[in-house]
Amino acid sequence: MKKTVQIGITVIGMAFFPMRGSTEEAPYTGKLAEIKEIIRQTAHADYSNLDKMYRENSFPFLDFATSNGISTNTVTAIAMNMLAEALAGSEKQIAKNYDEIIFLATFLGCLDVKGALPLLRKAAIRTISGGLISIEAVHAYISLAGLDALDFVEMMLNDEQNYNRGEREYTYRTFAKRVEEEHKRLRHGDEGKMRDAQAFLLRLIQTEKDGDLLRRLDNTLCAVLPEYGTSAQRGELISRFKPTSPSGIALTSLESEHFRKAKAAVDKAPENQRKDFRAKGELLDPEREKGK
C-alpha cells in the first residue's frame, strides 16, 4: 500500500484508514479520534461561525491537529474518509448527516484538496431517488474542478427534471466566476478547455431569461473574450430585452443600466464589423461542435 500522508494514513480506493501496526499509529490513535469528533461538532456549529471559518480558512480541528504535531494532510484524509462513509449511506442516513456532508465538502474545497474531486462531485449530484443537492457542494466542486467542471454544468443544463431553475442558475454563476479566475492565470495546455467554456457561455446567453444572470454572464464574456464586447451575439442578447422586444425579458433598473451601456458599445461598431462567433472556425461554428 502506498503511504500518501503523515501519521500512517493509507489510501485504499476512495477510503482512508490508519495503518495497522504502524509505529506511528499508537501515539496518535486517540488524537485522530478526537479530530473526527471535533469535525462533527464543527459541522453543526452556528452558520455565522462557519462563515467566519471559511473566510479566514481557520478551523478548530486544524488548530488542534497542529498543536498535537499532526499534519494538515492527515486531517484532510480523515475528512475525505468521513465524507466517503457518509455518501455511502442510505438516503435516510444521508438526510440525517446532511449538514456534515455539506461541511466536509466545503472544507475540502476551501483547502483545494484535488484528491477529493470525485467525492465532491458525488456530493454535488442529486440522485433521482434521493432528491438531495446543496449549492454549497456544487460551489465546492466547481471551485476545485475549475474548467474541468464544464461537463457537470452541462449535465445540469440538460436535466431540468432533477435540477430546478434556481439550482441551475446558481451553478452557472459559480462556473462563470471560475472561468474568469482561470482566464487570469491560464495554464499552458488548458487553451482548449477555455475555448470550450467560452463556447458554453456564449450558448447560454442565447437561452437564459433571468436579467441578473445574463448581466453576470455578459460581464464574464467581456472579461474572457474581448471580441465579444461588440459582437453579433451581444447585440442579439440586447435585442431580447424590453422595450426593444415588447414580449422580451423585463429588467431591473440596475440591469437596464448595464445593458444600456452594452448597447452603446455594440452600436459603435458597424454591423458588418461585428464579430460573429458562428462563423467558420469560431466558437459557435456548428462544425466545431460536430468535431468534439
Say yes or no: 117 and 161 in one domain: no
Between helix 98-110 and helix 72-87 the angle, nearest 10°, is: 140
Burial class (CB in 10 A: 0-12, 13-18, 19+), 41: exposed
Parent domain of 118: 1-124
pLDDT of amino acid 292: 62
Whether 129 is in a domain gets the answer no
Q: Would you say residue 140 lies in a domain?
A: no
Task: Place 89 in a pLDDT band, splitting at 50, 70 and 90.
Answer: confident
Does some domain include residue 105?
yes
Separation between Cα atoms, residue 274 and residue 244, nearest integer Å? 20
154 & 38 share domain: no
Instruction: Mark whether 103 and 172 lie in a shared domain.
Output: no
Mean pLDDT of the chain: 85
Q: Is the pTM of this model over 0.85?
A: no
Task: Identify the domain boundary among 124, 159, 191.
Answer: 124
**Band of pLDDT at residue 183, cut at 50, 70 and 90:** very high
Please tell me whether residues 211 and 288 are part of one structural domain.
yes
Residue 13's pLDDT is 36
Q: Which residues pair with 10 in a beta bridge?
A: 3, 17
Q: How far apart are CA 141 and CA 121, in angstroms?
A: 6
Residue 49 and residue 188 in one domain: no
Cis amide bond preceding 118, omega within 30 = no
Domain assignment present for 137: no
Shared domain for 156 and 289, answered yes or no, is yes
107 and 153 part of one domain: no
- What pLDDT does residue 47 have? 67
Q: Indicate the helix (H) or strand (E) that contains 289.
A: helix 286-290
pLDDT, one tens digit per residue, over 59-68 is: 999 999 999 9
Walk across the sheet containing 9-12 and list its strands.
Answer: 3-5, 9-12, 15-18
Q: Would residue 20 count as lying in a domain?
A: yes
Record the cell numbers describing residue 262, joined without a space.
452594452
Predicted confidence band at 133 (pLDDT cuts at 50, 70, 90)?
Answer: low
Q: Same domain for 154 and 283?
A: yes
> Of 58, 93, 124, which marks where a domain is finished?
124
Cβ atoms of 134 and 43 within 8 Å: the answer is: no
Question: Dihedral through CA 129, CA 131, CA 136, CA 139, nearest 10?
Answer: 60
The answer as to whether 138 is a domain residue is no
Residues 55 and 179 grouped into a single domain: no
**195 found inside a domain:** yes
Q: What is the pLDDT of residue 28?
A: 63
- Residue 27: the pLDDT is 57
Question: Do residues 88 and 206 both lie within one domain?
Answer: no
Whether the pLDDT of residue 82 is over 80: the answer is yes
Determine the pLDDT at residue 6: 32
**CA dihedral in degrees (133, 139, 143, 144; nearest 10)?**
-30
- Does the residue 136 lie in any domain? no
What is the pLDDT at residue 228?
98
pLDDT bin (cut points 50, 70, 90) of residue 267 is very high
| pLDDT band, very low/low/confident/very high, at 176 (cuts 50, 70, 90) | very high
Identify the domain boundary among 124, 156, 184.
Answer: 124
Condensed to tens digits (0 to 9), the pLDDT of residues 26-61 reads 456 789 999 999 999 999 887 677 778 888 878 999
Say how many domains are in the chain: 2
| Pair 85, 188 in one domain | no
Residue tagged 462563423 (cell numbers): 279
Tell me, what's the pLDDT at 55?
Answer: 81
Same domain, 152 and 261: yes
Strands 9-12 and 15-18, bridge-based pairing? antiparallel
